[in-house]
Each structure stands twice: as structure tokens, then as C-alpha cells.
Chain A
């Protein structure tokens, strides 16, 4: 597991039962790969999966395709249940896994 530059935006605090918007943007070239006559082939290397757990439970999972731009931005909503850690996990072609966490405070 190595480092990745990401910005995770959560509300400062949420009330129990409130729907919260989670925004995450990550720095990655999302290399879609190419090959052709006279070209040096470049293998595809994208973040193919983003999964998010909140308080130990998976709340979001997304398959990312090669058609998605570099530095992909994802926004989703979830229900605030308790103060806990959100773990964002990206899986890259080639098996690398990147992880970032953020704290959701529920009052």
C-alpha cells in the first residue's frame, strides 16, 4: 500500500439519521493504455475500483472504467449513524491498493 493524493470533503458534523454528501477527488492519471503499429505499447493503468467503508460497513462501491478522466471526482450520499472512520480504498490495475481515511462526526 502506497501513498496517494486525495481530497475528501465531509460535513464538519452531522446529526444522526441525516443524509450526508461525501465528495472525494483523487490524483491519478487513469492511463487507459494504447497500442498500435509503430507505437510503444502502454499498458492500461487505472484505478478500477473505489470502495468506502463507514464504521466498519461498506457503504459505497464503484467500478471505474478507462473512459473516466484523470483525477476522478466522485460524490455520493450516505446515512449518518454514528461517529466513525470512513475508509476510502482504491484498487489500481496491477494490484496496488491505496487507502485514505476521514472521520465523520455524528452528534
Chain B
């Protein structure tokens, strides 16, 4: 009896083990370009973000010091703030800007916020994702997981039906990855520019003809947390390079 139970659990255990870094799904040419700052257009945004970090009277640098102090930060986001709100890196930067710098928020998907987020995330490049999911984050994680597993849209697909069941196979001339957010903000060739994970998730929602949620919405934030948890141990690739 116990043996049968183990056998029944086997496929689940395998699929959990199998999650691979997004870069392994890139073409060799794109992967090489992603690893090479001299050929990666995303670095144009990183440079700008580092300039923003130092800019102004109450700059990021005036509190945090050199941007290299942000090493490892991106591996721990999204995270629950002291007031119980779930914040991703973009949200954390915007809040810091409003509360501590007394400045107007950049706005989600603005070039300035994308640049700064990319510059901060890059400090963790290559480090393993290890987002905390205990305590206050547990409820958000569960919500994100439920979103991931829910069939949505006219095509009636859940995230996992592509990103678990069909990862590695081709869709529209591209290879389906395990759907990790580790490369975002990423330079996407289709966009001719940098974009956030939520912009990418909106494209995913559109792809299955489901409701597209706003950038920074609770649905995408909790999903981002689940994706980050799913990516635990995987390297941060931001700024990524995607098709």
C-alpha cells in the first residue's frame, strides 16, 4: 500500500525538482548575449539606474551608500512590509521614494523606475532566489499559488498547463520556460525595450484571453511571490534578455 502511495506521489516530486533557470530555455545566442554586458541593451537601463541612484540632494546613495549595498536584495522580494502590504522591488523603491525622499513616485513601468529596479536587481545577479514565505507572506503565497493553478480565460488554461506540463516545448517560435520571474525587469526584443514582470504577466493573460490585471495589482503581486518561491535556489538573471 505504502509503495503505491509513493508511486502516486512520484510525478509531483519530479516536477518540483525539475524547475530550471530561465536562461536554460534561451537560444545559445541569446543566452550568450544575456551574459555579456557589452552586447546586452538592458545595460543601457542599468547605467541610467545607477545614475538615478546617485542623483539629487536626497539621493538613494545618501542613505544606502553605494548601490553595491543592494547585493542580495532582489533574492528576497516580493516581501511583506511592516504595514502588512506585499511589495515587490518596484513597490519598495516607489515607497522609499515617497516616504523617505519626499518625491513624487516614478509610476509603474516608467523608464526611471525600470532603470532603477534593473540597477538594484543586477546587484544580485547570479545569486540564488530565497524569498521568505513564512509569517505574513504565507497567506499571499497561498493566494499566488491558487492564481497559478486556476484555469483562466477563453482558452481555459492555468499557468502550469504551459509552464509545468509543456515547459521545453515550443510555442509561437519560442521555447516555453518554467515561467520564473528571475530575469525581470528584462529587455524583451518584442518590446524593443525594458519591461517589468507585470507587463510580461499582462501579455501572458492576454495570451490565454483572460482578464489582464493592472500593473502592481494584488493578483500579479501574489503571483510574483509564488513565482519567486518556485524559483528558490535559481539564479537572479535580471536584467534578462528575452524574445
- A residues within 8 Å of B by Cβ? 5-7, 9, 23, 25-27, 29, 69-71, 73, 75
Contact A27 B38 (CB under 8 A): no
A30 nearest in chain B by CB position = B192
- B residues within 8 Å of A by Cβ? 37-41, 43-44, 47-48, 189, 192-193
Contact B192 A69 (CB under 8 A): yes
Contact B192 A70 (CB under 8 A): yes
Query: Which residues from chain A contact B48 at a C-beta distance below 8 Å?
Result: 5
- Output the least CB separation between A47 and chain B (Å): 14
- Output the least CB separation between A18 and chain B (Å): 18
- Output the least CB separation between B30 and chain A (Å): 13
Contact A7 B44 (CB under 8 A): yes
Among B37, B38, B39, B44, contact of A5 (Cβ-Cβ < 8 Å): B44
Given contacts A23-B39, A25-B41, are A70 and B47 in contact (CB under 8 A)?
Answer: no
A69 nearest in chain B by CB position = B192
Contact B38 A70 (CB under 8 A): no
- Could you jot down 24 A-B contacts, CB within 8 Å? A5-B47, A6-B44, A7-B37, A7-B43, A7-B44, A7-B47, A9-B37, A23-B39, A25-B38, A25-B39, A25-B43, A25-B44, A26-B44, A27-B44, A29-B192, A69-B189, A69-B192, A70-B192, A70-B193, A71-B44, A71-B193, A73-B39, A73-B41, A75-B39
Within the assembled complex, what's the spacing in Å between the Cα atoms of A9 and B44?
13
Within the assembled complex, what's the spacing in Å between the Cα atoms of A48 and B140?
50
Query: Which residues from chain B contact A5 at a C-beta distance below 8 Å?
Result: 44, 47-48
What is the number of contacts between chain A and chain B, taking CB atoms within 8 Å?
34
Q: Give 9 nearest A-B pairs by CB, closest first.
A: A9-B38, A70-B192, A71-B41, A23-B38, A27-B44, A5-B44, A25-B41, A7-B43, A73-B39
Query: Which residues from chain A contact B40 at a C-beta distance below 8 Å?
Result: 25
Interface majority SS (helix, strand, loop, mixed), chain A: strand
- Output the least CB separation between B203 and chain A (Å): 18
Within the assembled complex, what's the spacing in Å between the Cα atoms of A29 and B193?
9
Contact A7 B192 (CB under 8 A): no
A72 nearest in chain B by CB position = B41
Contact B38 A7 (CB under 8 A): yes
- Output the least CB separation between A73 and chain B (Å): 6
- Output the least CB separation between A39 and chain B (Å): 19
- Output the least CB separation between A42 and chain B (Å): 15
Within the assembled complex, what's the spacing in Å between the Cα atoms of A40 and B192?
22
Within the assembled complex, what's the spacing in Å between the Cα atoms of A7 and B41?
9
Query: Which residues from chain A contact B37 at a C-beta distance below 8 Å?
Result: 7, 9
A29 nearest in chain B by CB position = B192
- Output the least CB separation between A12 and chain B (Å): 13
Within the assembled complex, what's the spacing in Å between the Cα atoms of A71 and B41?
7
Within the assembled complex, what's the spacing in Å between the Cα atoms of A9 and B37?
9
Within the assembled complex, what's the spacing in Å between the Cα atoms of A26 and B43?
10
Query: Which residues from chain B contact A9 at a C-beta distance below 8 Å?
Result: 37-38
Within the assembled complex, what's the spacing in Å between the Cα atoms of A6 and B47?
9
- Output the least CB separation between A24 and chain B (Å): 9
Within the assembled complex, what's the spacing in Å between the Cα atoms of A62 and B155?
47
Query: Which residues from chain A contact B192 at a C-beta distance below 8 Å?
Result: 29, 69-71
Query: Which residues from chain B contact A71 at a C-beta distance below 8 Å?
Result: 41, 44, 192-193
Within the assembled complex, what's the spacing in Å between the Cα atoms of A88 and B37?
19
